[in-house]
Structure formats: structure tokens, C-alpha cells
């Protein structure tokens, strides 16, 4: 990563917003750092009988607007600064979507791919045990994130409920539907992003039917984005990559067939009738829509001027470095920033919380309609702010979100 870590990226983005808003220095200082964070040791009995101690975190960035909300990542390269950055972005994301929530995030340094199902369950239950006093349906509500699953959320919810002595479905979201999960959660991140892209296409006068799309990253968000872009809008998916490489076909790819190929082989690489393409080259394709759905910091000042897509929809967290934003903006690339574009996940997680609280569950169609009603006005509030201040879409998203958080802080008498 160039010079800055993710948390420094997040702080730099906030600093730009503070300058635009002429934010009071005391308020700015409060917003630059998390309100509280927990560091935990997680001793877990492994299958060979040994005990391994994992390091974990839970960061609650700001709860002025309500209980904090954010996923739990299991990753071998996890750091507390990454968790802090993601908690900050969750704060702005929830405010931007006008959800009554603050931002949080959790993480454990581990490699789930090297662990058995039993070891993962014991780690999940240990994590829930260690953060029990720190989280809760009205304090901080976790969810799945990188390398965590609905099943893992079910284990954590069960462990928390055992400690609490009663059913606590609302302590965590992204659960299996059988234990309080919401219909429509699986594709929510991608679907919300596609709703935002639809509005951007209207703004730019781009016909989505037949529009060319390139997707970097073919995990949950990327694969659903490809499938939905084709099924909802009849887009032409011409390129897809994953961590091992990528494929290109200018006549178009069948996203579901590509996903089936990946599930069988472990990668999209080698899919029939395609040309190989790298993760670097896919970003610079001459397409209508580019969707970075993999890693952070892939669009930088080194390659930003080579981006030819008309719309960039950030489904990944932090795929664009701060110094690249203005290059894209000045070149006429319409970027939908991550904490707007990928906000469908937390929005449907919020819907799951609501359903848990009053024990009545919506069907998938109702979830989709409600998600659209959240994503569409959020996109237009950012677009209008971008035009009003003459600033790029990321800065505009920060302006909208930070103003809402500051308003809550003032109304509560914090500042």
C-alpha cells in the first residue's frame, strides 16, 4: 500500500470533508478517532489438542446516531488499523443511508481456510464470549464480513444467547433465515450497488441494456453484481477477475456459468472461450461500467488517468486511493464511492434488526423494494451535494454523512 494505511486513508478523507464544511476543530478532532475499542485474546482448542491464541478486535467508532453496526472479518493479515478504518466508514455509511445506527467493526487475525469447521465454531463462540459485555442489540450489532458466513453468525448468536439466558436473535445480523436472518440479505450489497449504478446511468444518459461491465473480484459481491447486472438490466459482462487472474470476452460472459466454473475449479481462470486478463489490466478496459469488488487500494495515482470506464461502482471497501479521486473526477469518470455503493449490505442488516425486534419477517420482494427506497435517495443526496459544492462524489458523500453525525452530536449536547 502506498505510504498510508487504511485508517490514515479514512482520516485523510475526513480531513478533506472538514475543510469543505469548515468544521469546528474540536468536532473534527473527535471524529478523527474511534470512541472506544476492545483488544482481546482468544484461546481456542485446536483439533490436534493444542491451544492456539488468536488476536481479535472490536472497534466502536461513533454512536451519536444509535447503536454501532459493522461486520467481523477473519483474515490472516487483519490489523487494528484496518478495523478502525472500516468502523469509520461504517459510521459514514449508516449516516448516509439515514439509518439510526453508528459505525463499528470487528476482526480476528486467523486463516479460516486452514481451519476445520470445529475449530472455526470454537473460535466464533470464543469471540462472542469475549465481546459479550461490549456488544448487544441496543449497543453494537456485528455481522459477517470477509471470510465469515451466516453459519458463523448463527454460532455467535447462539453463544451470546446462552450467556444472556434468553433468545437474542437481534445481537447479530447476516444470520441464516431459520434463526432470524432476513430474506434478501445474500445479494444485498451487490443489489444496492446496482440500484446506485442504475441512477448514475440515468444521470449520464447511459443505456444499461447492452452496457459493457468489467468486475474485479468474484466473491459474494462481485458474482452477485455480475448476475444482477445481466438479469436486472441486460448488461454485457465482458471481463471478470479473481485473486488468481481473470477472463475476457468482448461478446459477453454468462455470470452464472462462470460462477459454477469457479466453484468447481477455485478460480474463474480457464473458463471456455475467453482471453486471460490480469487484475491490473481489467481496471483499464474501455467499458461503460467498472466494478472493483475485491481489494483496497487498486486505483491509485499511478493508474487513475488510465481508467476509461464512464462509471466506477465501488463494491469493495477502499479500492480507490485518496489522490486518485480527483484524477478520476477531472477526467469525467463518475465514481460511486464505497460507503454509498456497497451500503446495501448494512441496509438489509438494519432491516434484519427491525424484523428481529418485532418478530415479523418480510418476503424478499418487500426487502428489495425497501432497499431501493433507501439507496435511490442516498445516491441523489450525494449527487446534488457534488453539484452544489463542485466536488467529487466521495467528498460529497462525506459532506452528507458527516453533517448528519455532527447534527446528532450537537442535539445530544456532546459538542
How far is 328 from 309, CA to CA, in rounded Å?
10
CB 313 within 8 A of CB 291: yes
Task: Output the DSSP codes for 63-77.
Answer: -TTSSEEEEEEEETT
Which residues have a Cβ under 8 Å from the Cβ of 28 and sit 6 or more positions away? 14, 15, 18
- Which letter does DSSP use for residue 140 in this model? E
Q: Which three cell numbers stand for residue 346?
A: 448494512
Catalytic annotation, pick one of 69, 93, 105, 374: 105
How far is 376 from 378, CA to CA, in rounded Å?
5
How far is 361 from 177, CA to CA, in rounded Å?
10
Nearest to 172 by CA among 191, 150, 146, 147: 150
Q: Which three cell numbers stand for residue 243?
A: 485473486
CA atoms within 13 A on the CB side of 159: 21
CB 219 within 8 A of CB 344: no
Distance (Å) of CA 289 to CA 6, 162, 242, 360, 395 = 25, 47, 17, 38, 21
How far is 342 from 97, CA to CA, in rounded Å?
11
Q: What is the dihedral of CA 246, 251, 257, 260, to 10 degrees?
A: 0
CB 91 within 8 A of CB 66: no
Exposed e or buried b per residue across 259-273, where buried means at least 16 C-beta atoms within 10 angstroms of its C-beta? bebbeeeebbbebee
Helix/strand/coil for 285: coil
Q: Among this protein's residues, is 387 annotated catalytic?
A: no
How far is 102 from 408, CA to CA, in rounded Å?
11
Q: Which three cell numbers stand for residue 74?
A: 477473519
How far is 344 from 346, CA to CA, in rounded Å?
6
Strand-by-strand arrangement of the 212-216 sheet: 275-277, 245-248, 236-242, 212-216, 289-292, 311-313, 334-336
Catalytic residue list:
105
Amino acid at each position: 500500500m502506498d505510504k498510508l494505511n487504511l485508517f490514515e486513508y479514512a482520516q485523510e478523507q475526513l480531513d478533506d470533508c472538514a475543510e469543505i464544511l469548515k468544521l469546528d476543530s474540536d468536532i473534527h478532532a473527535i471524529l478523527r478517532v474511534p470512541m472506544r475499542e476492545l483488544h482481546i485474546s482468544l484461546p481456542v482448542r485446536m483439533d490436534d489438542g493444542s491451544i492456539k491464541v488468536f488476536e481479535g478486535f472490536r472497534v466502536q467508532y461513533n454512536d451519536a446516531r444509535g447503536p454501532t453496526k459493522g461486520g467481523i472479518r477473519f483474515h490472516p493479515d487483519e490489523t487494528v488499523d484496518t478495523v478502525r478504518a472500516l468502523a469509520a466508514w461504517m459510521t459514514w455509511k449508516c449516516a448516509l443511508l439515514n439509518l439510526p445506527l453508528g459505525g463499528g467493526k470487528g476482526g480476528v487475525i486467523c486463516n479460516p481456510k486452514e481451519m476445520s469447521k470445529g475449530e472455526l465454531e470454537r473460535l466464533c463462540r470464543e469471540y462472542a464470549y469475549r465481546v459479550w459485555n461490549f456488544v448487544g442489540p441496543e449497543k453494537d450489532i456485528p455481522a459477517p464480513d470477509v471470510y465469515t458466513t451466516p453459519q458463523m453468525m448463527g454460532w455467535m448468536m447462539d453463544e451470546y444467547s446462552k450467556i444472556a439466558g434468553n433468545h437474542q436473535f437481534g445481537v447479530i445480523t447476516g444470520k441464516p433465515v431459520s434463526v432470524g436472518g432476513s430474506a434478501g440479505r445474500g445479494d444485498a450489497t451487490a443489489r444496492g450497488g446496482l440500484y446506485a449504478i442504475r441512477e448514475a446511468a440515468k444521470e449520464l444518459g447511459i443505456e444499461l441494456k447492452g452496457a459493457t461491465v468489467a468486475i474485479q473480484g468474484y466473491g459474494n459481491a462481485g458474482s452477485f453484481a455480475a448476475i444482477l447486472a445481466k438479469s436486472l438490466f441486460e448488461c454485457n459482462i465482458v471481463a471478470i477477475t479473481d485473486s488468481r487472474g481473470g477472463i475476457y470476452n468482448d461478446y459477453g460472459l454468462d455470470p452464472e456459468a462462470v460462477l459454477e466454473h469457479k466453484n468447481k475449479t477455485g478460480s474463474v481462470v480457464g473458463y471456455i472461450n475467453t482471453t486471460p486478463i490480469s487484475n491490473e489490466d481489467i481496471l483499464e478496459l474501455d467499458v461503460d461500467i467498472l466494478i472493483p469488488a475485491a481489494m483496497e487500494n487498486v486505483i491509485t495515482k499511478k493508474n487513475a488517468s488510465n481508467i476509461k470506464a464512464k462509471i466506477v461502482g465501488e463494491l469493495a471497501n477502499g479500492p480507490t486511493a485518496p489522490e486518485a479521486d480527483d484524477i478520476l473526477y477531472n477526467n469525467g469518470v463518475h465514481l460511486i464511492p464505497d460507503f454509498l455503493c456497497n451500503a446495501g449490505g448494512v441496509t438489509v442488516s438494519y432491516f434484519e434488526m427491525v424484523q428481529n425486534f418485532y418478530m415479523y419477517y418480510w418476503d424478499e420482494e418487500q426487502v428489495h423494494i425497501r432497499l431501493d427506497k433507501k439507496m435511490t435517495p442516498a445516491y441523489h443526496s450525494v449527487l446534488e451535494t457534488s453539484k452544489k459544492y463542485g466536488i467529487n462524489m466521495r467528498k460529497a458523500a462525506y459532506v452528507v454523512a458527516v453533517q448528519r453525525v455532527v447534527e446528532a452530536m450537537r442535539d445530544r449536547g456532546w459538542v
